[in-house]
Amino acid sequence: MTEVEAKKPQESLQDRLAQVVELLHRHKVVEDLTHRQEGQHHDRVENLVHRQNLVELQRKLEELHPADIAHILESLPLDDRLTVWQLVKSEDDGDILLEVSDAVRETLIADMDDHEIIAATKDLDADELADLAPELPRDVVHELMESLDAQQRERVRSALSYEEDQVGALMDFEMVTIREDVSLEVVLRYLRRLKELPGHTDKLFVVDYDGVLKGVLPIKRLLVNDPDKQVLEVMATDPVTFHPDEDGYDAAQAFERYDLISAPVVDKGGKLIGRLTIDEMVDLIREESESEVLNMAGLREEEDIFASVWKSVRNRWAWLATNLITAFVASRVIGLFEGSIEKLVALAALMPIVAGIGGNSGNQTITMIVRAIALDQVQPTSNSRNRLLRKELGVALVNGLAWGGVIGVVAFYLYGNWELGVVMTAAMTLNLLLAAMMGVLIPMTLHRFGRDPAMGSSVMITAMTDSGGFFIFLGLATIFLM
Amino acid sequence: MTEVEAKKPQESLQDRLAQVVELLHRHKVVEDLTHRQEGQHHDRVENLVHRQNLVELQRKLEELHPADIAHILESLPLDDRLTVWQLVKSEDDGDILLEVSDAVRETLIADMDDHEIIAATKDLDADELADLAPELPRDVVHELMESLDAQQRERVRSALSYEEDQVGALMDFEMVTIREDVSLEVVLRYLRRLKELPGHTDKLFVVDYDGVLKGVLPIKRLLVNDPDKQVLEVMATDPVTFHPDEDGYDAAQAFERYDLISAPVVDKGGKLIGRLTIDEMVDLIREESESEVLNMAGLREEEDIFASVWKSVRNRWAWLATNLITAFVASRVIGLFEGSIEKLVALAALMPIVAGIGGNSGNQTITMIVRAIALDQVQPTSNSRNRLLRKELGVALVNGLAWGGVIGVVAFYLYGNWELGVVMTAAMTLNLLLAAMMGVLIPMTLHRFGRDPAMGSSVMITAMTDSGGFFIFLGLATIFLM
């Protein structure tokens, strides 16, 4: 992690983005003019204006924090994005690549040759290099690895050996370690010799001669205690620690719960091998909630809003295809009752109401249960399942009778057929009960079998309430009205 | 913020929750037995077992961090929750109340008398008290305010004067301030006299005699620099600062972007009035993403999963009612074409496919645009709107022709009517184009008029694609097939 002191944002990020867009626009107008006059006399004055605009833009970019430049790159269409990317001073390239979203990073790396990539990444830390490595060309990674010393290389390899969201892939290696048998005065002198401390250093790690973690010395304690005291007297001996194969999301929850800034990562033998910091955890929390939103809407992954049509189609096709199949099934359910619809065409107009309300209500239930599972609030026991079922069925019954009653009366007024109204009310109630049952059972069953309960649960519940709603409504109508 | 050192979680949170549930269960079995034998001879042994179980449960709870107890309380049904709440040692009550969700906090406060509430909250800091105040009984708040000194009372009042998600309501008042004209050695000695530093102290705030912020001294710099240096030489003079009336979500994004741990809050005159810390920001980030998920599913707010049926009905009815109205409109659109459906009943079976795919595709688009707006990646200019429109319409055209083609062929095979197939393909394509257009325009228009683009956008887009889909399909069928 390169230390960059954040400048005070006198102007909002939106303002800065607007300024960059304005400069880009000026640049393009001039370019268009120059282009149009090509073949005719090539106007030197305009070329000069062109260059001045670029220089101004470059100066603007130099003032900005890499995270802000990353944000601006994400907000620009591809051509403008690459213009800006070429103007960014190359020492920031690595930091910016780390900050942008995966989809945007791909477009930036595609625009760089091997030489540029190596220049941008050679000063990164082992953990940062490991983050980028999967997206870099093979021979570039090879060359980068060659340039590292043995310890760094080993760290990159180790980080790459874990899944993206395991602690081992998220940790960094910038630990400040001390011994327990020295005085705080010695620790203070030692720190002064370091010249710089790694970001997010809120505690020092106390290890023995074998590198086994004995405790942590919070900086706060270092500062308020008598310098003559020994580390041993002041350190915390039972800190929250993590293992490299733990789930990063669990670690993020622990950070949130215990308000941690950094925490040691130890191997099975208790040896200190790295540390987690709150910034990585915040990214993870943000990512986790976002992937929940995206999954529910049927997007495979975060999308570059300026991605090509073709890329977007690929990101979205899987869920559309699933939806097509479930819609087809629902259509066949209706097909079963074409005879009834021919006799009473009002059924065709009323059936989407039954299906729609069921879907909406089912999605409410499933969203709540998925969240509770994600937060570990639901015990995977039949006792708590039954309790939730009872409650959700109760809510469905109330809503079904109330709203179903309203719509039943409306149906009676519209079509002057009170039996149709009663069937409507009954169908709504039954479909809401089905929605409630499935809203509890689908995520709990997925969870029980170790699947992600969020993934596709919205599509599944809608499929159930559509086909189920049509079947219940048309079935009741066929039995009682025909 | 009370300082609680987090204990190393030797067992997972799930395990601890399971243990508490087990102890509660044993307690209840005994209670049931005792109850059944009432009137007969009252068995003293069973009473003893009963008490032993409670003591064991209490001991278990005493080992736990307040955040863990909060989690356990959220995971328990109301009766068990109150049993545990009674057993928690009262000095933790305040911290636990701060940690639990709003819905659960309400159930806990309802179970406490005024005396208990005052005991639990009297040691809280001003900012924490302000967080709880809106949910406490009026006379309790009055009594608590009376017990505070003038400065604390002013702070509580100030915090209460801001909206829940403004910086002024999120900041705390635990700043360590120093002067710029002293040496680091003096600062170190000053800190030692404080005995304890507030949580999340990664920087000290440098103020002049009027309390105006001159800069910040990161603890890291304090530690690595020569103690003889002056604060002035070492401090950062342009730190990221916030104003109390700024939006908390913007502040959270700045914390994320610049990897901040704490940051000063200053008034218009530049006077230091409080500080923001990363833990509050993490809560906000979590909350923001969650409310996005909840809003999209049509839940008004976070729900206690063990809330009563009646409470849940109230939380969910508004969206269901909206959905009912839009479904009714869609139903009336179908009603317009009842004549056509009577002639060709296949239309009734096929129309939900057109509406369903449109809804799914529209939700994909709108989710992406809402996210991009939330992340400030979309400029509110007609230029960027047109660019996004062009792209989304392109995606819709590809999907419409591809999937519409597939379903057209299927319709032809099912009903042996090639004209029906062509109408199906055309209607799918047109409805996907409508979905794409609305998916871009709805959130951008809401945003333009200062509304939350997430709120209800899913319901709106579904309403459009349902009514629109039915109208397009049945309209085309009436023109070309009748």
What is the share, in percent, of chain A residues with pLDDT greater than 70?
91
Query: What region, left, alpha or beta, does residue A450 occupy, with left being phi > 0 and alpha being psi -120 to 50 degrees?
Result: left
Instruction: Pick left, alpha or beta for residue A298 (phi over 0 → left; psi -120 to 50 → alpha; otherwise beta).
Output: left
A-B CB pairs within 8 A amount to: 359
Q: Chain B partners of A18 at a C-beta cutoff of 8 Å?
A: 379
Greater confidence (B314 vs B410) lies with B410
Instruction: Say yes or no for a CB contact (<8 Å) between B391 and A306.
Output: yes
Pick from B224, B261, B348: CB nearest A196 = B224
Is the predicted pLDDT of residue B364 greater than 70, yes or no? Answer: yes
Stronger pLDDT, B390 or B48, i.e. the higher one:
B390
Neighbours of B191 (CB within 10 A): 21
Predicted confidence band of residue B297 (pLDDT cuts 50, 70, 90): low
Please judge whether B278 and A278 are an interchain contact, meaning their C-beta atoms are less than 8 angstroms apart: yes
Range scoring the smallest mean pLDDT among A397-406, A451-460, B201-210, B259-268 = A451-460
Judge: domain B11-158, CATH 1.25.60.10. yes
Suggest the residue from B190, B192, B258, B325 to mutate for an interface test with chain A (most A CBs closer than 10 A).
B258
B17 and A348: CB-CB below 8 Å? Answer: no
Global pTM reads 0.79
Of the candidates B191, B282, B391, which has its C-beta nearest A309's C-beta? B391
Are the folds of B11-158 and B175-295 the same? no
CA dihedral B415, B420, B425, B431 (to 10 degrees): -110
In angstroms, rounded to a whole number, what is the distance separating the alpha carbons of residues A358 and A429? 9
Rounded distance between C-alpha atoms, residue A69 and residue A74, angstroms: 9
Minimal C-alpha gap between A48 and chain B (Å): 27
pLDDT above 80 (res B103): yes
Return the pLDDT at A11.
61
Distance CA B473, CA A358 (A): 23
- Which of B8, B289, B388 lies closest to A289 in CB terms? B289
CATH no., domain B307-479? 1.10.357.20
Question: Are B170 and B251 in contact, with CB atoms under 8 Å apart?
Answer: yes
CB nearest to B6's CB, from A240, A293, A323: A240
Q: Which pLDDT band, with edges at 50, 70 and 90, does A188 fall under?
A: very high
Strands (E) in B283-335, as ranges, are none
Beta strands across the sheet bearing B203-207: B177-178, B203-207, B213-218
Give the list of residues 6+ apart from residue B392 with CB closer than 8 angstroms, or none: B365, B436, B437, B439, B440
| Residue A35: per-residue pLDDT | 54
- The verdict on a CB contact (< 8 Å) between A378 and B191 is no
Tokens at A181, concatenated:
């048998």
* Chain A residues whose beta carbon lies within 8 Å of the beta carbon of residue B309: 391, 394-395, 398
DSSP-assigned beta bridge partners for residue A262 = A277
Conformation bin of residue B201: beta by default, left when phi > 0, alpha when psi is -120 to 50 = beta
Taking the C-alpha atoms of residue B392 and residue B398, their distance in angstroms, rounded to an integer, is 10
CA-to-CA distance for B451 and A133, rounded, in angstroms? Answer: 41
Would you call B361 and A320 a contact, using CB atoms and an 8 Å cutoff? yes
CA distance A341 to chain B (A): 7
The pLDDT assigned to A430 comes to 97
Tens of pLDDT, residue by residue over A90-99, are 778 888 998 8
Partners of residue B71 in chain A, C-beta under 8 Å: 257, 375-377
Query: Which amino acid is residue B374, in one-letter code?
Result: A
Q: What average pLDDT does the structure give for chain B?
A: 85
**Around Cβ A228, how many Cβ atoms within 10 Å?**
9
The CATH class for the domain spanning A175-295 reads alpha beta
Residue B143 confidence (pLDDT)? 87
Over residues B228-239, the mean pLDDT reads 93
A414 to B8: CB separation less than 8 angstroms, yes or no: no
Q: A46-66 pLDDT, tens per residue? A: 566 667 778 888 888 888 888
Gap between the Cα atoms of A59 and A52, Å rounded: 11
Q: Mean pLDDT across the stretch A304-321?
A: 82
- When mean pLDDT is compared over A114-118, A289-293, B291-295, the highest value belongs to A114-118
CA distance A147 to A43: 47
- Give yes or no for residue A397 having a pLDDT over 80: yes
What interhelical angle do A346-374 and A418-448 show, nearest 10?
A: 30
Give the C-alpha distances (Å, rounded to integers) separating B452 from B291, B374, B457, B463. Answer: 11, 9, 9, 18
Of A293, A335, A363, the CB nearest to B298: A363
Q: Do B403 and A320 touch (CB under 8 A)?
A: yes
Q: Collapsing DSSP states into helix, strand and coil, what is residue A240?
A: coil
For residue range B236-253, list pLDDT tens digits in order. 998 999 999 999 988 998
> Is residue A359 within 8 Å of A435, Cβ to Cβ?
yes
pLDDT of residue A44: 58
- CB within 8 Å: B200 and A367: no
Are B273 and B291 in contact, with CB atoms under 8 Å apart?
no
Sign of the C-alpha dihedral computed for residues B8, B11, B13 and B19 taken in this order: negative
The domain segmentation of chain B, as residue ranges, is: 11-158, 175-295, 307-479
Q: A327, B352: Cβ pair inside 8 Å?
A: yes
In chain B, what residues touch A6 (CB-CB under 8 Å)?
239-240, 257-260
Q: What is the pLDDT of residues A337-346, one digit of tens each?
A: 999 999 999 9
Decide if A379 and B75 are in contact by the 8 Å CB cutoff: yes
Statement: residue B373 has pLDDT above 60: yes
Q: What is the pLDDT of residue B2?
A: 36
Q: For residue B22, list chain A residues with Cβ-Cβ distance below 8 A.
A: none
By CA distance, what is B374's nearest residue in A?
A290
Of all residues in chain B, what percent carry a pLDDT higher than 90? 41
Cβ neighbours of B196 in A, within 8 Å: 220, 224
A330–B350 CB contact, under 8 Å: no
Q: Which residues of B touch A468 (CB under 8 A)?
A: none
Residues of B in Cβ contact (< 8 Å) with A319: 360, 364
- CA-CA distances (angstroms) from residue A269 to A73, A213, A273? 44, 10, 11
B418: distance to nearest CA of chain A, Å?
18
Structure tokens at B31: 């209670």
pLDDT range class, residue B453, cuts 50, 70, 90: confident
Please report, to the nearest 10 degrees, the dihedral formed by the alpha carbons of residues A23, A29, A32, A34 taken in order: -90
For residues A383 and A393, what is the distance between their CA atoms, to the nearest angstrom? 15
Question: B332 to chain A: which residues are within 8 Å by CB?
Answer: 349
Cross-chain residue pair A357–B324, CB shorter than 8 Å: yes
pLDDT: which is higher, A427 or A376 = A427
Residue B5: pLDDT band (50, 70, 90) is: very low
Q: Is the per-residue pLDDT at B380 higher than 70?
A: yes
Question: Which of B74, B303, B470 has its CB closest to that of A368?
Answer: B303
- Max intra-chain CA distance, chain A: 95
Q: Which residues of B touch A317 (CB under 8 A)?
A: 399
**Residue from the list B224, B303, B395 with its beta carbon closest to the beta carbon of A194:** B224
- The burial class, CB within 10 Å (0-12 / 13-18 / 19+), for B63 is exposed
pLDDT score for B1:
36
Closest in B260, B305, B341 to A345, CB measured:
B341
The answer to whether the Cβ–Cβ distance between B192 and A225 falls below 8 Å is yes
Q: Over pLDDT 90: what percentage of chain A? A: 41
Which residues on chain A are in Cβ contact (under 8 Å) with B299? Answer: 364, 367-368
Closest residue, chain A, to B316 (C-alpha): A364
Helix, coil or strand: residue A158: helix
Range among A322-331, A471-480, B43-52, B190-199 with highest mean pLDDT value:
A471-480
More confident of the two residues B44 and B404:
B404
| Chain B CB contacts of A293 below 8 Å | 289, 292-293, 296, 367, 371
Residue A349 contacts by C-beta under 8 Å, 6 or more apart in sequence? B331, B332, B334, B335, B338
In B128-226, where do the E strands start and end?
A: 177-178, 203-207, 213-218
CB A327 within 8 A of CB A454: no
pLDDT of residue A422: 95
Query: What mean pLDDT is predicted for residues B192-200?
Result: 89
C-beta atoms of B360 and A323 within 8 A: yes
Is the Cβ–Cβ distance between B255 and B263 less than 8 Å? yes
Cβ pair B348:A327 closer than 8 A: no
Q: State the best of B11, B25, B371 to mutate against chain A, taking most chain A CBs within 10 Å.
A: B371
Q: Do B309 and A388 touch (CB under 8 A)?
A: no
pLDDT at A22: 78
Residue B244 and residue B274 in contact, taking contact as beta carbons nearer than 8 Å: yes
